[in-house]
Amino acid sequence: MLDVRRVIDDLPVSAYQLRVAALCAAVVCVDGFDAQVMGYVAPALARELHIPRAALGSVISSGIVGMMIGALAFGPIADRIGRKPVLVASAVIFGVGSLLTARVDTIAELTAFRMLTGFGLGGAMPNAIALTSEYMPQRCRDAAVMTMFCGFAFGSALAGWVAAAAIGTFGWRSVFIVGGSIPIVVAIALVAFLPESIRFLVVSGTQESRVSKYLSRIAPGASFTQQRVVAADERPRFPVGRLLAGGRGAGTLLLWLLFFMNLLDLYFLNNWLPTILNDGGIAPGTASLITSLFQVGGVVGSLALAGILGGRLSFGGLALIYASAAGFIALIGASGASIGWLAVAITLAGVCVIGGQTASNALAAAFYPTNIRATGIGWALGVGRVGSILGPVLGGLLLSYAGNVERLFWAAAVPPLVAAAAAISLRTHHHQDTQP
C-alpha cells in the first residue's frame, strides 16, 4: 500500500517539485502584475478618459469584485476537477481581459473588462497555493508556499516599473498589452509542463497510473507501479460546507476576518499610494517607483519570513507581523513629502503587509486537508476580496473628504491590528479546528 503523503514527506525535494513551484510562481507573478496595474495607470487613464476620482474607485473595485467571484467559484471547482485545468483557464481569462482593457474608450467597457480580468485572477491564486503546498514535503511546505508567493509581489512591482517606463512613451494602454500577453504565454507553458496535483489524484481515486508516473519523476530511481495507492481523504460533494464542519468553524471564520482586514489595507495602499504621492507634489513616474517599493518590501519580507520561520511558521508569529504593519503604515502618513522617509516607511509596510499575507496563505493551506484545500484557500481569499473591494472605495471617499493625510494613514493602521487580534485567537483554534 502506497501512502503518497508519507512518500512526499520522506523524500528530498526534487527538481521536478521545484519546477512545479516555479510554474505556480509564474502564474502568481502575472497575477500580481494584472491585479495591481490599475493603481499605477490610474492617473494617466483617468485624465484621458475623463474619469472623476469617486468613479475611479468604483472602476478599480470592479476588478476586485471579479477576483472575489473567481476565488469563491474556482476553489470548489478545482476540488472537483483538479488544480491544473483551473489554473490554465484562469491564466487565459485574465490575459484576455487585460488585452481587452487596452482597447476601452468608456467607463462601462473599462468596468466590464476589469471584472473579467479579476475573475481569472481570483481563480488562479488559491490553486497555485494549493498545488505548491501539495507537492512539497511537510518540513518545508510553508517556506515553499511563501517563496512561491513572492512572485505576486514581484509581478506587482514589475507593473510599477513597466508603467513608469512605458506610459510616457507609449501610453497607458501599452501596460495592459504587456499584462495581457504574458499570461497567454504562461498558460501555454502550464499546458505543456505542469502536472496535476498528486494528492488531488489520490483523493479522486481513479488515477493510480498518473500518481505512479508523477512519483517516479520525483524519485527517478524508485518504482511505484505495482503498489496500490492509499487515499486518506474522500472527495466531498459539497466542499464549501466542510469548511465549517469537523470542528473547523471558528478557525475558518477567524481566517476570513484576518484575510478581510489585511487585503483591505493591501489594496488600499496598492491602488491609492501613487495618487496620494502625486497629490503631494511627487511626479507620477517617481510616485510609481516609490509605490513599487511596497512590492519590493513584500518580496524581501516573504523571503525573510520563509528563511527565518520556515517550518516554524505560526499564528502567533503572524500576529506580531501584522502589529508591526500597523506601525509602519502610520509612519507613511507621518513622512510628509520626504521621499527618503516615504521610501523607508513604504518598504517596511510592504515587508509586513505583503509578507503577512504570504504567511497567511501558507497557514491557510496547512489548515485544510487536501480534499477541501483549494476551497478553503479560495473562500478565505474570496471573503478577503470583500475587504479588497472596500479598500479602494473607502480610500476614494477618504481622499475626497479627509483634509489630513496623516489621519488617513492612522485609520489605515487599524485593520492590521484587527488582523493581529484574529491571528492571536487562531492560536487557540488551530489545533482544535483541523482535527478530522
> Do residues 9 and 139 make contact, with C-beta atoms less than 8 angstroms apart?
yes
- Residue 43: band (very low, low, confident or very high) from pLDDT cuts 50, 70, 90: confident
Kindly tell me if the per-residue pLDDT of 344 is higher than 70.
Answer: yes
Distance separating alpha carbons of residues 190 and 172, to the nearest angstrom? 29
**What percentage of the chain exceeds 70 in pLDDT?**
90
Kindly tell me if the per-residue pLDDT of 381 is higher than 80.
Answer: yes
How would you class 106 by CB atoms within 10 Å of its CB: exposed for 0-12, middle for 13-18, buried for 19 or more?
Answer: exposed
Give the per-residue pLDDT at 7: 79
Neighbours of 436 (CB within 10 A): 8
Give the per-residue pLDDT at 221: 67
Kindly tell me if the per-residue pLDDT of 44 is higher than 80.
Answer: yes
Looking at residues 3-19, what average pLDDT do you find?
84
**Which domains, and CATH codes, for the chain?**
2-433 (1.20.1250.20)
Q: Which residues pair with 2 in a beta bridge?
A: 229
Kindly tell me if the per-residue pLDDT of 436 is higher than 60.
Answer: no
CA angle 146/149/153 to nearest 5° reads 120
Looking at residues 138-157, what average pLDDT do you find?
84
> Do residues 153 and 299 make contact, with C-beta atoms less than 8 angstroms apart?
yes
Closest by alpha carbon to 134, among 177, 66, 82? 82
pTM for the complete prediction?
0.80
- Residue 58: band (very low, low, confident or very high) from pLDDT cuts 50, 70, 90: confident
Exposure string of 18-57, with b = 16+ CB inside 10 Å and e = fewer, is eebbebbbbbbbbbbbbbbbbbbbbbbbbeebebeeebbb
Ranking 25-39, 97-111, 217-231 by mean pLDDT, the lowest is 217-231
Give the per-residue pLDDT at 69: 93
Q: What is the maximal distance between C-alpha atoms in the chain?
A: 71
Q: Which residues pair with 101 in a beta bridge?
A: none
Kindly tell me if the per-residue pLDDT of 431 is higher than 50.
Answer: no
Q: Which helix (H) or strand (E) holds 345?
A: helix 339-367
Distance separating alpha carbons of residues 272 and 411, to the nearest angstrom? 14
282 three-state secondary structure: coil
CA angle 205/363/139 to nearest 5° reads 70
Mean pLDDT score across all residues of the chain: 84
- Residue 272: band (very low, low, confident or very high) from pLDDT cuts 50, 70, 90: confident
Give the per-residue pLDDT at 213: 83
Give the per-residue pLDDT at 205: 66
Give the per-residue pLDDT at 27: 93
Q: Which residues pair with 230 in a beta bridge?
A: 3
Kindly tell me if the per-residue pLDDT of 4 is higher than 80.
Answer: no
Cβ-Cβ contacts under 8 Å for 300 (sequence gap 6 or more): 347, 350, 351, 355
Looking at residues 21-34, what average pLDDT do you find?
92
pLDDT in tens, 65-96: 898 899 999 988 988 888 999 999 999 999 99
